[in-house]
Structure 1
Amino acid sequence: MKIYTIISILTLTILLSCSQKNKRPEPNFYRNLFTNEILNKTEFEIFIGTLHQNIPDSLKGKEHLTIHFGFLETTKDSIIQPFNYDIRIGNEYLVRANNFDKIGMKIKPQKFNTIDGDSIQIGGQQLKPMLINLWFINCGGCVAEIPALNKLKEKYSDRVDFVAMTFDDAKKVRKFLNRNDFNFIHIPNSEEFINYIGSKPYPENIFISRNGFIEYIEGGLGGNLNDDNLKYFESIIEKLLLPTRGNSQ
């Protein structure tokens, strides 16, 4: 079975505008960010439907395809939706939309105050690997993945540190948490550090080894608790828990 996921990677300005009541306009053309080719809606649907054809026969049916949408490009006569995509087989990417050049980066150890007033170190030598979720309150994709993130936390809470970082202030985050269960350690007001470790767009999930290296960077987990993405995230965590896993171990 081919698995298709369509998620938006809109940047902050667009995501904030989407939180308002104005309906986002419907595109009549699509631009492939890999090739700059312009497709009409029918051509786009055909293109997406045939991406799996380049996959070896032995692997067909196991692919996970994620479509990423960017800024709308509006002209007098048309609305163009840029897009790119990931194609993943199991844990290996055949095509990846974004260049995550911060994979392999060693994070300088820094202390942070959590929303509960506790102190936590990120980077440097740690007893546990860490998953950092970069999010903000008005990000639809960020909010949608929270139940799946909570499920990960429930399964691995004794072996992995789960941290959520946002540029939103503590007052906004507390208000959100009063209405929503998001069971990570929360660090608000973190824009500077997010810019240091993050690649954008939101949501972004950054997996860090016990030695403080960024080992994996993934986009949104999605809202399906039984989705292939959740199993993929679990496989990453299992690798990080291996005794010899991590850059410098």
Structure 2
Amino acid sequence: MKRILVFVGALFISSLLKAQTVVYTSNGNEMISELKLKEERDNIKKKFTKIFKKEMFVGTKIKKTERRNDSIIHFISFDVKDNKSKKSKMESLVGKEFPSFKFKDINGKEISLESLRGKPTLINFWFTKCKPCIDEMPHLNKLKKKYKNSINFISMTYENKAEVNSFLSKEEFHFKHIVNVKDFIDELEIESFPLNVFLDENLKIKVLESGLPYQTINGKMVIKNANSFEDIIKTLNIK
């Protein structure tokens, strides 16, 4: 059975670092808590499982993101299906060589996949209005400072040079930045951000991770550290 129905909902997350609210919604009008969102997803699952008399599955996707005043608004959809989602293209590539590319970074220097061979690589997919992307940047910068040139630290975004330069004039993100690669990102079928891709020295994809996990501290959702990413790095062959 193909996709049956698409639902949209909303989710608030408080950020200790910038006191902004991250909202997930279809139109910016209906706003529900993370707990209520989970309850709604469970209710949708139960409803359609009953209707079709077999277990149904509910998936979510972020379609776009907007910034409005003190809120970051992520537009999402809930997809109801009668089977579990197939692996994404990136998931299907785990254990295989990362797709070939040749681009210029934000400073005009050419970067190709082959130029990364010989040492591990972390590729971060992000965009400037992605709050989780921004929240994890200080921790990614610490990894870059610690491992320096023993690991390739690359970022990719569909946004253009002007947008990224404007962002970098206010925020620190010390990776090598590849911009304006929407076609490549679409080809990889990447829809949720951030996405962190860990390659070994032979350019094979070892691990895929979304953003660093949040923790609740004093009632606030914050990223505590990058220990989980460092644990992955330690499994790679760092020379």
Q: Match of 2:50?
A: none
Whichever residue aligns with residue 25 of structure 1, its letter is M
Checking the alignment, whether the CA contact within 8 Å between 1:71 and 1:81 is kept in structure 2 is yes
Checking the alignment, whether the CA contact within 8 Å between 1:70 and 1:82 is kept in structure 2 is yes
Give the whole-Å Cα distance in 1 for the aligned partners of 2:144 and 2:62.
32
236, 240, 245: which is aligned to 2:232? 236
Work out whether 1:25 is the aligned partner of 2:31: yes
CA shift for structure 1 position 176:
0.4
Whichever residue aligns with residue 137 of structure 1, its letter is T
CA shift for structure 1 position 153:
1.0
Checking the alignment, whether the CA contact within 8 Å between 2:212 and 2:223 is kept in structure 1 is no
Give the aligned CA root-mean-square deviation in angstroms. 3.9
TM superposition outliers: structure 1 runs of 4+ over 4 Å: 16-19, 68-72, 80-83, 222-225
Cα 1:24–1:134 change in 2 (3 A) is farther
CA shift for structure 1 position 131:
0.4
CA shift for structure 1 position 171:
0.5
Q: Match of 1:213?
A: 204
Q: Match of 1:131?
A: 122
Q: Match of 1:36?
A: 45
Checking the alignment, whether the CA contact within 8 Å between 2:61 and 2:191 is kept in structure 1 is no
Gaps of 5+ in 2: 1-10, 14-21, 48-58, 64-75, 80-86, 215-221
Give the whole-Å Cα distance in 1 for the aligned partners of 2:23 and 2:223.
28
Gaps of 5+ in 1: 1-5, 9-15, 39-67, 73-79, 84-97, 244-249
Cα 1:24–1:184 change in 2 (3 A) is farther
Work out whether 1:144 is the aligned partner of 2:135: yes
The percent of aligned pairs where both chains have the same amino acid is: 30
Q: Match of 1:178?
A: 169
Cα 1:188–1:7 change in 2 (3 A) is farther
Q: Match of 1:75?
A: none
SS of 1:181 mapped into structure 2 = coil
Give the whole-Å Cα distance in 1 for the aligned partners of 2:137 and 2:153.
12
Checking the alignment, whether the CA contact within 8 Å between 1:107 and 1:123 is kept in structure 2 is no
Figure out how many residues of one structure are paired with residues of the other and give that number.
Answer: 179
Cα 1:160–1:36 change in 2 (3 A) is same
Q: Match of 1:157?
A: 148
Deviation per residue, 1:171-200 (Å, 9 max, x gap): 100010011100000000011222344543
Checking the alignment, whether the CA contact within 8 Å between 1:128 and 1:161 is kept in structure 2 is yes
Deviation per residue, 1:52-77 (Å, 9 max, x gap): xxxxxxxxxxxxxxxx96569xxxxx
* Normalised TM-score (structure 1): 0.59
Checking the alignment, whether the CA contact within 8 Å between 2:60 and 2:78 is kept in structure 1 is yes
SS of 2:45 mapped into structure 1 = coil
Deviation per residue, 1:221-247 (Å, 9 max, x gap): 1575643xx11111111111257xxxx
Deviation per residue, 1:94-137 (Å, 9 max, x gap): xxxx7622212322432210001111122587121110000011
Q: How does 1:1-249 map to 2 (within 5 A)?
A: 22=28, 25-26=31-32, 27=36, 29-32=39-42, 36-37=45-46, 70=61, 100-123=91-114, 126-197=117-188, 199-222=190-213, 224=222, 226-227=224-225, 230-241=226-237
Cα 1:215–1:138 change in 2 (3 A) is same
Cα 1:151–1:37 change in 2 (3 A) is farther
Cα 1:69–1:155 change in 2 (3 A) is farther
